[in-house]
Structure 1
C-alpha cells in the first residue's frame, strides 16, 4: 500500500474556515464565534475519513521573525490585523489537533510553508506520496518533486482538488513549476506584500518567461526589451531579485521527517470530548466520536400514577455516559450541550384519551390565564396535514397529551370539547412558531382567541442572528435536551416516518415535553425582552402579526394554470432561439449551461476580455456581473443573458407554480417566515414571492398568473412610495431631503438638481438615473469605486458626484457617522419601533469584519424601520377588515407591497382603508410624509 503523508498549512486553513462563515457566524450560547474551530475540524476529519492518510502533520507559523522579514522589512506589512475571534480560535484548534494525536510542526525563524516544503521533499524521497493541504498558490514551486502534490480541500460548494505539476503549469501558463517563483518575482504577491516589478501582471510575466525562461535571463536581456516594458524591467531589477527570494520556499529547514512521529494514532477521545463540549459541537462531535459523545445511561426510575391513572416517570439521578455506534449525520446542525433530559429530569406527563379525562383536562385548563399548547401532525405543510394530537402545559415539568384519531370526524368531536377553551379571550396562548399551530386548527374550524406569546419570535428579537429551533433554545436557556423527533420517526428526509406509526406512549412523552419546554422558555424570555427593551416591538409588531400571516397563508392565491402553460411554451421557444443564436455567433456548439465551456468560448475563442478573471477552481468567471460588463462588446452576450433569464423563469416559476397548488383549495399557499431576516423583513417560500422578478418585462409577466379566486372579484395592489429614502430623510433630519419629500417632489430629480447645481427642470434622464444610484447606494456603503462600476463612469466622476451629494445633503453623512459611533459605544443599532440589531464586530481591529458591521449599522435601522412599518400596516388593515366582516382578503406581502383579493362592492372602501393604515402605521420624524398608492386589476401585474 502506498504511504500517504498529508501536511496541513494551519493558518491558511484557519483563515479560510473563519471567512467561509463570516456572514452567518457560528456562535455558542455565550456568544463565542467558532467559525474557525468548526471549519478546521470538519476539514481535518473529512480529510482523514475520505483520503485515508497513513501519516499526517499540521504546520504552524510562529511569531518569531524570519529571514524574509530581515531582508525586506515590509514583508507581509500590508496584512490587516487578524479578527479577534480568529486569533482566539488558535489555542482551541491546537487542542483539537492534540486530541487527534497529530503532531504539530513549527520552528522559529521559518514559515509553515518552509517547514512543509522541507518535510514534503524528505518524505517523497522515502517513497511517500505527499499532499500539501493549502489554498496557497506559492506551493506550486514544490511540485518539482514527482511525488508531491497540492491538495485543496472542498470550499464554498466546490469539490476538493488535487493539483499536479502539469496543472500548475497550465494554471500559470508556464513550462516548468520552478518558474512559479520567477512569476512571483516578476508580478509580486499582494497578499504577502511582495512588490515584484511595478506594472507587470500575470499575463506579461508568463509571456516574458516563455521567451527568456528565468527571471535572471529576463534581467540580463532587459536592455534589448523595447519600449515601456523594458524600462519597467530595468527600473524594477532590485525589486524583482528581492521578490523572487521572498517567494522562494526554503527546503532545507532543520527539521527531520521521522516516520513514526507522523503516523496516525489512536485519538485522545477525552481531550476531543472536552474540546467539542466547550465549543458546543454537538452533531459534529457525534459524527466524529459516535453516540458515546454526550450520551447518558438512564437513571433509575420511580413509578407513580397521575390524576388520570397514567404512569409518571420521575428520574433524578446523575447521568452516566454510555457507548453507542457512530452517527451518520453529515453536517453540524447546531447543538448546545445540556446535561438534563427526559431520562434524568422529574416530570409528569399525562395522557388524556377518554371523554372523562378530556373533560377533566378542559375543566382544569379553563381556570388558567396562561396555557402553552402544541400540535402534532402528519407533516410540515400546515395547509395539507392531519392532526395527530394536541399537547398542553400550565406549569414547568407538567404536560398533557390528547391523541387525535385518523378519522377527521372523530378529531373534530375531540376539538369540539376544547371549543369553549379556545374561545376564551382572557387566556395567553404560548407556543413555539404559533402560526403553524393556528393554521392547523383553522383547517378544523377552530380560531383561538386571547393573547399570543410566540417563543420563536421572542428569541428572534432577543438574538436576531441566532438559530432558534426549540431543541437549541432549550439547551441554551434551560440546560435541557428535548427528545429529538428523529427518535420517534427516523431521520429527516425521504425516509422519515409518520407520527401515526409511533406508539401513543412515546408521542405523549415527546409532545407533552414540547409544551412543557416551550412554557419554560416563555418564562426565560420575558425578563430578557424587558431587560433589552424589546417588549414593545414584540407586543405591538411581531406577536399581533402572527394572526395576520395565519389568515393570509390560509387564504392563498389563485393561479392561472392555462396562462402559465402557454407562457412556458413561449419561453421555451424564445430560449431555444437565443441558444441557437449563441451557437451561430460562437461558431461552435457547446453546453451553454456549462460555465467552464462558456468561459472557454467567450475568452479563448472570441477573446472578449484579455483580462478575464478566473474563479478559484481555475475556470473563467461567467456570472451575470461579468457578462453585463461585456454586453456592449458582442451580441452573443445579450443572447446568453436572455437565455439564462428565460430558462430560469421557466423552471423556477412558470413550470413550478402549478406544482404548488394545494389540492384542497386549488390555490397556492405561500409560507411566510417571520423570524429569519435579521433586519425584520418577512421572507417567504413555496413560492418565494420576494424573488419573483419585476425588473424585466418577461419577469413581470409572471404576475399575470396571480388572479382573483373567483370570477367577478379583482386584485388590489398597494405599495409604499420610496419608503426607505423617506426613512433616511426622516431619521437623518437632512433639511434638503426632508423638504423635497414635504413638497412632493420627485426625490431623484431633486437630488440630481442639487448634486449638479442646476434647476430641476434642466435635469436629464441620465442625471436623474445617476442621482438615483447615489440615493440608494450611499446609504448601503457604496463608495466611488462601486458607483463608478455600477454606472459605467470614471472613478473621478463618481467621486465628484458623491462629494457633491454629501455637500448638498450633509445630514446623510452625519447620520451614517452617528449610527456607527452609536454602535461602537452601545454594541447595537435600532429601528424607530425599537427593534435592535447587535453588531459584535463593530470594534474589530480587522477592517473587513468591522466594515461589514459598519454597513449594517447604517442600513439596519433603515431596512428595519421599513419592515416594522409595513408589519404595523398589515396588522391595522387586518384588524379593521375583521371588524367590518368584509369578504375581501389580504393575500400577499412582498417587500413594501400588499396584495388583496377583493369583491367589487368593497373595493373603494378597502382602498381608502389600505391607504389610511399604510400612511399612518408609523408617522415619521421631521414631518416627512409617508405615501402609498393602490392599483386594481384582473391579475397582479395589472393591479401593480
Structure 2
C-alpha cells in the first residue's frame, strides 16, 4: 500500500488501457458464460479495479474513457494518427457499456471529453487536483503518461506477468527513460516515435539515440539548434525530417487544458448501490465477484447479510423454498442430509440400498491430483437430491482393497448407471484397488462439453451456472498449493463427509439438467453414448498403461543439444557484432531493429518493446541471417527444456513408465489434448525433434510399437463434405493429391509438375481449410501476393464445389449460429455476425474449419472405441497414445501379423464416408521407427 504525504489521494484510471489489458489476460482461456457471452474484458477490468480499491483505499477516484468514433484534435493535424491500430475486438466493444453501467452502480464517476483522449482528460485533472493539494495517481500501463509526472502526480502501473504494482515518481521516470526531467519524455517520444499510435518520429532514431540527444541537447528544439554537431546519415535524417519531428512531439504531448473541471466532491469514493451491482452481475453470471465487492468495501453485519441472504434460498419448517429469486446458495444455507458410513453394518445396508438403484453418483476422495500416485481416502455416493453417504477407507492398502471389493456388485453392475464428474480419474484410482467402474456411465463434465464446448466444465463453474450454488473449495480444507498444504486424509471426518457428498449431490443434480439440455443438441445424446462416454473408459486404460522411455537416448540428445546451442550462440553473437542476452526480447529487439535495422517500422508490444515473437521472426527470417539463427536457437532450447530434460522426471516410480493425461473436454473442435507430459507438441518436422521420439520404446524385446496414422484425413473430409468430384476422383484413383492439384492449377500434365509447384499446391491444399489469404500464402511460399491470389483463384476454378461448400458453411453458421461435424458435434460461432471484420473473419474461417477438424476428431475417437473393444476381447496388444491423427500401440511380436491389419481396417472403416480413409501403419522398436 502507498504511504501518502496527506489523505487527499486521487486515482484516475485509463479505462481502455485497463480494459484491453484485462481482455488479453484471458485471451488463451476466455471467460464465456452460459449465454455464450465473452466476459473476459469486464472480469479483467473489475479485477484491476477491486485490487486497487483493496490495496490503496483511495479517497477520490474516477475512470476516464476515450470517446469512440470521434476524431480528436490530433487527427486535425495528422489524419494518420493511430491509423495502424486494429479494429477493437468484439469482446471489448460489447464490454464497455457493461463496465460503465457497473461503475455507475458503484457510484464511480465515468469521465470523457469529446475531441480529447483519455490521457488529455487525466492530464488536465491531475494538474487541477495538484493545485488543490491532491496527490494524483494515474493508473495505466501506458508509458506516455510519464511526461505528466511531478512530485504530486505519479504513474500507477498495475501488476503484470507475476510482477507487482509499479509506482513511477520523478526518479523512476528519469531512470526509465534516461532523461533529466519527466517533461522531457515528450521530446523522447517525438524523436523516436511510437508505432502503437502511428507517431512517425525521426527515421533511424531509436530509444538509445533519443536518450543521447536529450542528454546532450535537452529537448527536440535543442537538437535542431545544434544540428551542425551531427554527422553522416544521422545528420541527414534529422535535417530532412524536421517537420515530422515537431509534428511527432505535438502528437505525443498530452494536453493539460481539456474542458473538464475538478470538483473534489464529485470524485469521493462512495458505497455502491449493491442491489444494482448484483443485478448486473447476475446477468453476466459473475457470482464470486459479488462477494469480492462486499469484501472490498468491508461491508459486514446487517448490510452484507441482508444483501446476500435476501438472494439465497431459505427453507421453512416444511422444507419449502420461501424465496425463488436467488443468486447462489451454499452448503450452509441449503437443507441436506450427508451421512458418514464408517462401520460394517452401515456399509452393508448402504450396499443393499445402492443395489436397488437405477442410477448412482460416485466420487473418490484421494491424497493426490495424479490418479496413479493417489491413495484412496473415501468414496461418496448419492442417488437422491440433497442426500448422500460417505464411506471412509482405511489407510492400510490391503484393508482398503478388501473394502473396495465390497462395492464390486454396484460399480461393475451393467444395470446401474454410474454418474460422476471426471469419472476417468475415479476409474484410474479404483483400478489400483481392483475395482472397475463399468458402463453405462454419465460424466457431467463430458456431457457439458458436448452441450457447450466453449465454456469451462469444472464442477465449481457448473454448479454456479446451472444450480446457482457455490461449492466448498478444497483449498479451504487443505490450504493452498505448496509445502504447507495438508493431505485430505488429515481433514476431520465430519468435514470430509460434508465436502465429499456435496460433490456427488451437486453432480447428480447437474446430470438431470444436462439430460434435458441434450435434447436441444440434435445428435448430442448419440455422440455421448456412442463416442464420448465409451471413450472415457478407453482413455483411462491408455493412461494407466503408459509408455516406456529410454532415458539414455535423452541423455545423449541433451549433450548434442548443448553442443548445438553453444555453436548457435557464437554464431548469433557474430551476427550481432557483440555478446548479449539472447533470451531477452528487449535486447534482441534493440539489436535486430535498432542496430541491424532488419526492417523498417517494426511492430512493438503494448509495453513499447519491439516484438520478437516467433510469428514476427518467421516473417522476416530471410531479411538477415541472425533471425533464422535465433529461431533455431529458440527451437532447440525449447526442445531441451520442455522434452529432453523434462520427460525423465515424468516417469512414474511405481510403473517405470510415462503416463500422459488426455484431456477430453478442452478443445472446442473435439480434438484430444495431452498433458503432463504433453506429447502432441513434439516438433517432429525437425531432425532434432524426431530424435525425441526415439526415446519412446517398447517395454521389452518381446514387444514392438505400431504407429497407425490417417493419411491426409482433413483433405479427404473436405473433398467428401463438399462433394467436389475432381478432388474425390483424385482420392478414388489413389493419386498424389498435391501433384494432382498442382497439375490443375498450373494446367500441366502431372508428370511435368515440379517439386516447387507440388510444394505450393500442398500449401494451398492445407491452407484453404484454414482460410488462407493471398497475403498468408505469399508468406508461406516464395510467391508474390499477386501470384498467390492467382493461385487461389485457379484453385477454386479447379475445385468449384469446394468454394460453394465453404460459402454455404458460412451462410449456415450465420443463420443458425453453429456448424456441425459428421457426427453432430457442434461448434457455436456467436461472433459470425460481428460488425468487427477481424472477429467476423475469424468466425467465418471456423465455420469452414471446425466441421473438418471436428470430423477428423470424431473419426479417430470412433476408431479408438472400436479398437479398444476388439483388443480387450481378443489380444494382449495395448493402445498407448493418440497424437493428432495417429494411434500408437504396444504389440507382442507374436500378435503383430494378426493385429496390424485389424488396426488398419478398423481405422479406415471407423465411419461410412464417400471418400476412402487411408491409414499408414509402421512398426519399430521405438516411436520414431514405427512412425
TM-score range, shorter chain: 0.7 to 0.9
Q: How big is the shift at 1:381? A: 0.9
Aligned pairs, number? 903
Return closer, same or farther for 1:462/1:846 CA change in 2, 3 Å cut-off.
same
- Tell me the CA shift for residue 918 of structure 1: 0.6
Specify which of 775, 800, 807 is matched with residue 817 of structure 1: 807
Matches of residues 721-870 of structure 1 in structure 2 within 5 Å?
Answer: 721-870=711-860
2:921: which partner in 1? 934
1:665-676 matches, cutoff 5 A: 665-676=655-666
Match of 1:43 in 2: 48
Deviations 1:344-399 (A, max 9, x none): 33333233322222222222222222222111111111111111112222222221
C-alpha deviation, 1:486, in angstroms: 2.7
Question: Is 1:93 the equivalent of 2:83?
Answer: no
Alignment of 1:907-926 (within 5 A): 907-924=896-913
1:104 aligns with 2:104: no
Q: Structure 1 residues 82-91 or 362-371, which shifts more?
A: 82-91
Change (3 A) 1:85 1:938: closer
8 Å contact from structure 2 (residues 821, 852) kept in 1:
yes
Deviation track 1:853-894 (CA, whole Å, cap 9, x = no partner) reads 21211111111000000000001111111121x111111110
- Within the candidate set 104, 117, 125, 1:119 is matched to 125
Task: Report the CA distance between 1:801 and its aligned residue.
Answer: 1.5
- Do the aligned partners of residues 142 and 877 (structure 1) sit closer, same or farther apart at CA in structure 2, a change above 3 Å counting? same
Moved more, 128-137 or 706-715: 128-137
Distance 2:577 2:250 in 1: 46
1:534-613 alignment runs, 5 A limit: 534-609=524-599, 611-613=601-603
Which moves more between the two structures, 663-672 or 604-613?
604-613
Q: Tell me the alpha carbon deviations over residues 648-683 of structure 1, each in whole angstroms, 9 at most, x when there is no partner.
A: 222211221121111111111111110111100000
CA contact (8 A) 1:353 1:402 kept: yes
Matches within 5 A, 1:76-91: 86-91=92-97
CA displacement at 1:565 relative to structure 2 = 2.3
Aligned to 1:891: 880
280, 285, 292: which one aligns with 1:280: 285
Query: Does the C-alpha gap of structure 1 residues 160 and 757 become closer, same or farther in structure 2, counting only changes over 3 Å?
Result: farther
Alpha-carbon spacing, 1:715–1:523, altered in 2? closer, same or farther (3 Å): same
Contact persistence 1:816–1:858 (CA under 8 A): yes
Task: Give distance in 2, aligned partners of 1:459 and 1:653.
Answer: 33
Q: Please give the alpha-carbon distance, in whole angstroms, between the structure 2 residues aligned to 1:495 and 1:539.
A: 42
The counterpart of 2:294, out of the listed 279, 282, 289, is 289
Q: Deviation digits for residues 63-85 of structure 1, max 9, x if unmatched? A: 79677499699899978886665
1:396/1:520 contact within 8 Å kept: yes
In 2, the alpha carbon distance for the partners of 1:190 and 1:449 equals 58
Distance 1:37 1:713, change over 3 A: same
C-alpha displacement at 1:597, in angstroms?
2.7
Q: 1:478, 1:382 → 2: CA distance?
A: 28
Report which stretch shifted further, 573-582 or 175-184.
175-184
Cα distance change on mapping 1:606 and 1:22 into 2, 3 Å: closer
Displacement of 1:719 after TM fit?
A: 0.4
**Whole-angstrom distance in 2 between the partners of 1:543 and 1:678:** 17
Distance in 2 of aligned mates of 1:629 and 1:82: 24
Moved more, 125-134 or 619-628: 125-134
User: Do the aligned partners of residues 829 and 278 (structure 1) sit closer, same or farther apart at CA in structure 2, a change above 3 Å counting?
Assistant: closer
User: Structure 1: where are the runs of 5+ without partners?
Assistant: 222-226, 304-313, 321-335
Asked if 1:640 is matched to 2:630, the reply is yes
1:500 aligned partner: 489
Secondary structure at the counterpart of residue 406 of structure 2:
helix
2:65 alignment partner in structure 1: 60
TM-superposed CA distance for 1:301, in Å, is: 11
1:714 lines up with 2:681 in the alignment: no
Aligned to 1:331: none
2:599–2:623 Cα contact (<8 Å) kept? no
| 1:681 matched to 2:657 | no
Give the conservation status (yes or no) of the 8 Å contact 2:285–2:465.
Answer: no
Q: Return 512-521 or 660-669, whichever deviates more.
A: 512-521
Paired residues of 1:95 and 1:271 also in contact (CA < 8 A) = no
Measured in 1, the distance between the counterparts of 2:472 and 2:264 equals: 47
**2:13, 2:62 within 8 Å by CA — same for their partners in 1?**
yes
CA distance in 1, matches of 2:314, 2:601: 72
Q: Which moved more, 1:268-277 or 1:559-568?
A: 268-277
RMSD, aligned α-carbons? 4.2
Residues 798-819 of structure 1: per-residue CA shift (max 9 Å, x gap):
2222121122122222222111
Secondary structure of 2:694's match? helix
1:388 is paired with a residue whose SS is: strand
Could you tell me how far apart the structure 2 residues matched to 1:584 and 1:244 are?
Answer: 37
Q: Which residue is equivalent to 1:371? A: 360
Match of 2:341 among 349, 352, 367: 352
SS in 2 for 1:754: helix
Q: Deviations over 1:454-510 (max 9, x none)?
A: 111100000101111112212222233333223332334543321211222222222
Which residue of the partner structure matches residue 469 of structure 2? Answer: 480
2:24 maps to 1:34: no
Counterpart for residue 399 of structure 1: 388
* Matching residue of 1:390: 379
Closer, same or farther: CA 191–177 of 1 in aligned 2, 3 Å = closer
Shift of the alpha carbon at 1:259?
4.2
Query: Residues 921 and 816 (structure 1 numbering): CA distance in 2 closer, same or farther, change over 3 Å?
Result: same
* Structure 1 residues 158 and 806: alpha-carbon distance in aligned structure 2, compared to 1, 3 A threshold: farther
Alignment of 1:101-500 (within 5 A): 101-107=107-113, 110-125=116-131, 128=134, 130-134=136-140, 148=153, 151-154=156-159, 176-179=184-187, 250-264=255-269, 272=277, 275-290=280-295, 338-500=327-489
**Following the alignment from structure 1 to structure 2, what is the Cα–Cα distance between the partners of residues 41 and 343?**
28
Measured at CA, do residues 45 and 345 of structure 1 come closer, stay the same or move farther in structure 2, by a change above 3 Å? Answer: closer
Give the Å deviation of 1:407: 0.8
- Residue 692 (1) aligns with residue 682 (2): yes
Query: How far, CA to CA, are the matches of 1:108 and 1:813 in structure 2?
Result: 46
Q: Which runs of 5+ in 2 are unaligned?
A: 228-232
8 Å contact from structure 2 (residues 72, 117) kept in 1: no
Q: Deviations along 1:72-109, whole A, 9 cap, x unmatched?
A: 99899978886665455344323433455433334456
- Taking structure 1 as the reference length, the TM-score comes to 0.85
Cα shift readout 1:125-171 (whole Å, capped 9, x = no counterpart): 5565544334567657656x776555554557787666776589779
Aligned partners of 1:131 and 1:379: how far apart in 2? 45
The answer to whether the Cα contact below 8 Å between 2:448 and 2:457 also exists between their aligned partners in 1 is yes
Q: Structure 1, residues 197-254: CA drift from partner, whole Å, max 9, x if none?
A: 9x989879x99x9999879999xx9xxxxx9x999x99999x9999998876543334
TM-score under structure 2 normalisation? 0.86
Q: Is the 8 A contact 2:341 2:347 kept in 1?
A: yes
Give the match's secondary structure for 1:771: helix
Quick check: 645-654 or 283-292, which moved more? 283-292
Aligned to 2:499: 510
Shift of 1:792: 4.0
SS at match of 1:450: coil
The answer to whether the Cα contact below 8 Å between 1:182 and 1:215 also exists between their aligned partners in 2 is: no
SS of 1:453 mapped into structure 2: strand
Secondary structure (helix, strand or coil) at the match of 2:262 reads coil
- C-alpha distance in structure 1 between counterparts of 2:194 and 2:553, whole Å: 58
- In structure 2, distance between residues paired with 1:548 and 1:358: 31
Q: Is the 8 A contact 1:558 1:709 kept in 2?
A: yes
